[in-house]
Amino acid sequence: MLKDIVNRKLVTAEPSAKIFDVAKLMAHHDVGSVLVVEDKKIKGIITDRDIVMRCLAKSVSLDDCSVESVMTPAPTTVRETDGIFDCIETMKSAKVRRIPVVDRSGEVIGIVSFGDILAVLSKELGELTKGTIPQVSSPEFEREAA
Protein backbone atom coordinates (compact mmCIF):
# COMPACT_ATOMS: atom_id res chain seq x y z
CA MET A 1 0.00 0.00 0.00
CA LEU A 2 1.08 3.53 -0.69
CA LYS A 3 0.58 4.60 2.92
CA ASP A 4 3.92 2.92 3.66
CA ILE A 5 5.92 5.01 1.18
CA VAL A 6 4.09 8.35 1.01
CA ASN A 7 6.31 11.34 1.62
CA ARG A 8 4.23 13.23 4.17
CA LYS A 9 6.55 16.22 4.44
CA LEU A 10 4.39 18.54 2.39
CA VAL A 11 5.91 21.48 0.61
CA THR A 12 2.96 23.62 -0.39
CA ALA A 13 2.04 27.00 -1.77
CA GLU A 14 -1.16 28.88 -2.36
CA PRO A 15 -2.33 29.56 -5.93
CA SER A 16 -1.61 33.29 -5.52
CA ALA A 17 2.04 32.76 -4.51
CA LYS A 18 4.75 34.21 -6.72
CA ILE A 19 7.00 31.90 -8.73
CA PHE A 20 10.11 33.45 -7.21
CA ASP A 21 8.92 32.44 -3.73
CA VAL A 22 8.08 28.92 -4.88
CA ALA A 23 11.53 28.54 -6.45
CA LYS A 24 13.05 29.54 -3.10
CA LEU A 25 10.85 26.92 -1.38
CA MET A 26 12.06 24.26 -3.80
CA ALA A 27 15.69 25.17 -3.16
CA HIS A 28 15.26 25.34 0.61
CA HIS A 29 13.54 21.95 0.82
CA ASP A 30 15.59 20.39 -2.02
CA VAL A 31 12.49 19.30 -3.94
CA GLY A 32 11.49 19.46 -7.59
CA SER A 33 7.80 20.09 -7.03
CA VAL A 34 5.42 21.99 -4.79
CA LEU A 35 1.81 21.09 -4.17
CA VAL A 36 -0.63 23.94 -4.68
CA VAL A 37 -3.15 23.66 -1.88
CA GLU A 38 -6.17 25.64 -0.77
CA ASP A 39 -8.21 24.61 2.28
CA LYS A 40 -6.25 21.32 2.46
CA LYS A 41 -7.44 20.37 -1.04
CA ILE A 42 -5.08 19.93 -3.97
CA LYS A 43 -5.55 22.63 -6.60
CA GLY A 44 -2.46 21.94 -8.65
CA ILE A 45 1.18 21.02 -8.74
CA ILE A 46 4.13 23.04 -9.93
CA THR A 47 7.49 21.56 -10.85
CA ASP A 48 10.90 23.03 -11.51
CA ARG A 49 10.37 22.10 -15.15
CA ASP A 50 7.09 24.08 -15.22
CA ILE A 51 8.97 27.16 -14.05
CA VAL A 52 11.62 26.74 -16.73
CA MET A 53 9.27 25.91 -19.61
CA ARG A 54 6.34 28.21 -18.78
CA CYS A 55 8.18 31.22 -17.35
CA LEU A 56 11.88 31.40 -18.12
CA ALA A 57 11.76 29.97 -21.65
CA LYS A 58 9.01 32.44 -22.51
CA SER A 59 10.86 35.37 -20.89
CA VAL A 60 8.02 35.97 -18.43
CA SER A 61 9.14 38.06 -15.46
CA LEU A 62 9.18 36.01 -12.28
CA ASP A 63 7.82 39.05 -10.42
CA ASP A 64 4.71 39.00 -12.59
CA CYS A 65 4.21 35.25 -12.64
CA SER A 66 1.92 33.55 -10.12
CA VAL A 67 1.80 29.88 -9.29
CA GLU A 68 -1.76 29.67 -10.58
CA SER A 69 -0.67 30.78 -14.05
CA VAL A 70 2.06 28.15 -14.29
CA MET A 71 0.86 25.15 -12.28
CA THR A 72 -0.72 22.03 -13.66
CA PRO A 73 -4.29 22.41 -12.39
CA ALA A 74 -6.34 19.57 -10.89
CA PRO A 75 -3.60 16.94 -11.03
CA THR A 76 -4.42 13.27 -10.99
CA THR A 77 -4.23 11.90 -7.45
CA VAL A 78 -4.04 8.54 -5.73
CA ARG A 79 -5.25 7.45 -2.31
CA GLU A 80 -2.99 6.25 0.45
CA THR A 81 -4.92 2.96 0.43
CA ASP A 82 -4.05 2.29 -3.23
CA GLY A 83 -1.51 -0.35 -4.09
CA ILE A 84 1.88 0.40 -5.62
CA PHE A 85 0.99 -1.14 -8.98
CA ASP A 86 -2.26 0.85 -9.13
CA CYS A 87 -0.19 3.96 -8.51
CA ILE A 88 2.23 3.01 -11.29
CA GLU A 89 -0.66 2.55 -13.72
CA THR A 90 -2.15 5.91 -12.70
CA MET A 91 1.21 7.64 -13.14
CA LYS A 92 1.65 6.00 -16.55
CA SER A 93 -1.81 7.06 -17.69
CA ALA A 94 -1.31 10.63 -16.48
CA LYS A 95 2.29 10.70 -17.81
CA VAL A 96 3.68 12.04 -14.54
CA ARG A 97 6.64 11.22 -12.31
CA ARG A 98 5.13 12.65 -9.12
CA ILE A 99 1.60 12.22 -7.86
CA PRO A 100 -0.23 13.78 -4.92
CA VAL A 101 -1.75 11.42 -2.36
CA VAL A 102 -5.10 12.22 -0.77
CA ASP A 103 -7.05 10.71 2.08
CA ARG A 104 -10.64 9.51 1.98
CA SER A 105 -12.01 13.06 2.29
CA GLY A 106 -9.84 14.34 -0.55
CA GLU A 107 -7.40 16.26 1.64
CA VAL A 108 -3.81 16.13 0.43
CA ILE A 109 -1.57 14.17 2.79
CA GLY A 110 1.59 13.67 0.76
CA ILE A 111 3.24 12.86 -2.51
CA VAL A 112 4.76 9.78 -4.14
CA SER A 113 7.46 10.02 -6.78
CA PHE A 114 8.78 7.66 -9.40
CA GLY A 115 11.96 7.46 -7.32
CA ASP A 116 10.03 6.43 -4.20
CA ILE A 117 8.41 3.56 -6.06
CA LEU A 118 11.67 2.54 -7.72
CA ALA A 119 13.41 2.40 -4.34
CA VAL A 120 10.75 0.08 -2.91
CA LEU A 121 10.73 -2.19 -5.95
CA SER A 122 14.54 -2.33 -6.04
CA LYS A 123 14.66 -3.33 -2.39
CA GLU A 124 12.03 -6.02 -2.93
CA LEU A 125 13.84 -7.40 -5.99
CA GLY A 126 17.09 -7.42 -4.05
CA GLU A 127 15.43 -9.43 -1.30
CA LEU A 128 14.02 -11.83 -3.90
CA THR A 129 17.45 -12.49 -5.39
CA LYS A 130 18.92 -13.34 -1.99
CA GLY A 131 16.78 -16.45 -1.87
CA THR A 132 16.92 -17.45 -5.51
CA ILE A 133 20.46 -16.81 -6.74
CA PRO A 134 23.08 -19.28 -5.55
CA GLN A 135 25.90 -17.72 -3.54
CA VAL A 136 29.30 -18.34 -5.09
CA SER A 137 32.23 -18.16 -2.71
CA SER A 138 35.21 -19.30 -4.73
CA PRO A 139 38.44 -17.25 -4.64
CA GLU A 140 38.31 -16.89 -8.45
CA PHE A 141 34.83 -15.37 -8.35
CA GLU A 142 35.82 -12.92 -5.60
CA ARG A 143 38.87 -11.73 -7.65
CA GLU A 144 36.69 -11.20 -10.76
CA ALA A 145 34.02 -9.34 -8.79
CA ALA A 146 36.60 -6.96 -7.29
Instruction: Yes or no: say if 21 and 13 are a contact pair by the CB < 8 Å rule.
Output: yes
Instruction: Give the best-scoring range by mean pLDDT among 39-53, 57-71, 120-134.
Output: 39-53
Q: What percent of the chain has pLDDT over 90?
A: 58
pLDDT at 136: 58
pLDDT digits (tens, 9 = 90+) for 100-135: 999 999 899 999 999 899 988 888 777 777 766 666
Rounded distance, CA 86 to CA 114, Å?
Answer: 13
pLDDT confidence tier of residue 139, bands split at 50, 70 and 90? low
Instruction: Yes or no: say if 105 and 27 are a contact pair by the CB < 8 Å rule.
Output: no
pLDDT at 102: 94
pLDDT at 62: 78
Burial class (CB in 10 A: 0-12, 13-18, 19+), 2: buried
Residue 53: in which H helix or E strand, if any?
helix 48-54
Q: Which domains does the chain have, with CATH numbers?
A: 2-132 (3.10.580.10)
Judged by phi (left if over 0) then psi (alpha if -120 to 50, else beta), residue 88 lies in alpha
The answer to which of 40-49, 82-91, 115-124 has the lowest mean pLDDT is 115-124
Instruction: Yes or no: say if 8 and 102 are a contact pair by the CB < 8 Å rule.
Output: no
Rounded distance, CA 122 to CA 101, Å?
Answer: 22
From the list 46, 10, 49, the residue with the least C-alpha distance to 29 is 10
Rounded distance, CA 82 to CA 5, Å?
Answer: 11
